[in-house]
Structure 1
Amino acid sequence: MGSLDIVHLKKSYGSVQVLNDINLSIEKGGFLVLVGPSGCGKSTLLNTIAGLEPISGGEIRIAGRDVSGLRPADRDIAMVFQSYALYPTMTVAQNIAFGLEMRKVPKPERDAAVKRVAETLQITHLLDRKPSQLSGGQRQRVAMGRALTRNPQVFLFDEPLSNLDAKLRVDMRTEIKRLHERLKTTIVYVTHDQIEAMTLATKIAVLKGGVLQQFGTPAEIYERPANLFVAEFMGSPSMNLVRAGVDPDGGAVTLARGGEPLRLPVKAGRILEGYGGREIIVGIRPEAITEPRSENGADPSVVVSDFRIDVVEPTGADVYAISELGGRQAIGRCSAGYPIRAGQTARLAIHTDKIVYFDPKTEERIG
Structure 2
Amino acid sequence: MGFLDINNATKSYGSVEVLHNVDIQVEEGEFLVLVGPSGCGKSTLLNMIAGLEDITTGQIAIKGNAMNGVHPSNRNIAMVFQSYALYPNMSVGQNITFGLEMHGVPKPEREKAMAEVAKLLQIEPLLDRKPGQLSGGQRQRVAMGRALVRDPDVFLFDEPLSNLDAKLRVDMRTEIKKLHQKLGTTIVYVTHDQIEALTLSTRIAVMNGGYVQQLGTPKEIYDTPANLFVATFMGSPSMNLVSVKIVETDQGIAAQTTNGHGKTILLPFLNASAELKSYAGQTVTLGVRPEALTDPGGADRDAANVVEFDSRVLVTEPAGSDTFVTTTLGGTECNARMRADVQVRPGDDVRFAINMDKAVVFDPKTEKRIS
- What TM-score bracket applies, with the shorter chain setting the length? over 0.9
Give distance in 2, aligned partners of 1:172 and 1:21: 33
| Mapped contact 1:247–1:254 kept (Cα < 8 A) | yes
One-letter amino acid matched to 2:363: D
Structure 2 equivalent of residue 167 of structure 1: 167
| Mapped contact 1:41–1:207 kept (Cα < 8 A) | yes
Give distance in 1, aligned partners of 2:71 and 2:273: 53
| Mapped contact 1:9–1:59 kept (Cα < 8 A) | yes
Query: Aligned to 1:289, which of 293, 306, 321?
Result: 293
| Mapped contact 2:292–2:299 kept (Cα < 8 A) | no
Structure 1 equivalent of residue 47 of structure 2: 47
Query: Aligned to 2:335, which of 327, 331, 355?
Result: 331
CA distance change for structure 1 residues 183 and 300 in 2, over 3 Å: closer, same or farther?
closer
| Mapped contact 2:300–2:355 kept (Cα < 8 A) | no
Give distance in 1, aligned partners of 2:352 and 2:115: 57
| Mapped contact 1:157–1:189 kept (Cα < 8 A) | yes
Question: What is the Cα-based RMSD across aligned positions, in Å?
Answer: 1.5
Matched, 1:355 2:349: no
Structure 1 equivalent of residue 257 of structure 2: 255
| Mapped contact 2:33–2:190 kept (Cα < 8 A) | yes
CA distance change for structure 1 residues 294 and 132 in 2, over 3 Å: closer, same or farther?
closer
CA displacement at 1:343 relative to structure 2: 1.6
Structure 2 equivalent of residue 234 of structure 1: 234
CA displacement at 1:300 relative to structure 2: 5.6
Structure 2 equivalent of residue 319 of structure 1: 323
Give distance in 2, aligned partners of 1:188 and 1:298: 36
Matched, 1:277 2:296: no
Matched, 1:265 2:268: yes
Give distance in 1, aligned partners of 2:273 and 2:21: 33
CA distance change for structure 1 residues 280 and 101 in 2, over 3 Å: closer, same or farther?
same
Structure 2 equivalent of residue 345 of structure 1: 349
Structure 2 equivalent of residue 115 of structure 1: 115
CA distance change for structure 1 residues 66 and 296 in 2, over 3 Å: closer, same or farther?
closer
CA distance change for structure 1 residues 54 and 298 in 2, over 3 Å: closer, same or farther?
closer
Give distance in 1, aligned partners of 2:123 and 2:301: 55
Give matches, 1:1-367, under 5 Å.
3-248=3-248, 251-257=253-259, 258-271=261-274, 272-293=276-297, 301-367=305-371
After superposition, give the CA deviation of every residue in 1:138-177 in whole Å (9 maximum; x if it has no partner). Answer: 0000000000011000000000000000000000000000
| Mapped contact 1:49–1:60 kept (Cα < 8 A) | yes
Aligned length: 366
One-letter amino acid matched to 2:255: V
CA displacement at 1:293 relative to structure 2: 2.8
| Mapped contact 1:251–1:270 kept (Cα < 8 A) | no
Give distance in 2, aligned partners of 1:317 and 1:145: 36
CA displacement at 1:345 relative to structure 2: 1.3
Secondary structure at the aligned position of 1:155 is classed as strand
With structure 1 as the length reference, what TM-score do the two structures score?
0.97
After superposition, give the CA deviation of every residue in 1:8-54 in whole Å (9 maximum; x if it has no partner). Answer: 00000011111000011111000000000010000000000000000
CA distance change for structure 1 residues 85 and 299 in 2, over 3 Å: closer, same or farther?
closer
Give distance in 2, aligned partners of 1:166 and 1:267: 41
CA distance change for structure 1 residues 35 and 294 in 2, over 3 Å: closer, same or farther?
closer
After superposition, give the CA deviation of every residue in 1:290-342 in whole Å (9 maximum; x if it has no partner). Answer: 11139889976111111101000111010101111122110000110111111
Runs of at least 5 residues in structure 2 that lack an aligned partner in the other structure: none
Secondary structure at the aligned position of 2:18 is classed as strand
One-letter amino acid matched to 1:264: L
What is the percentage of aligned positions where both structures have the same residue? 60
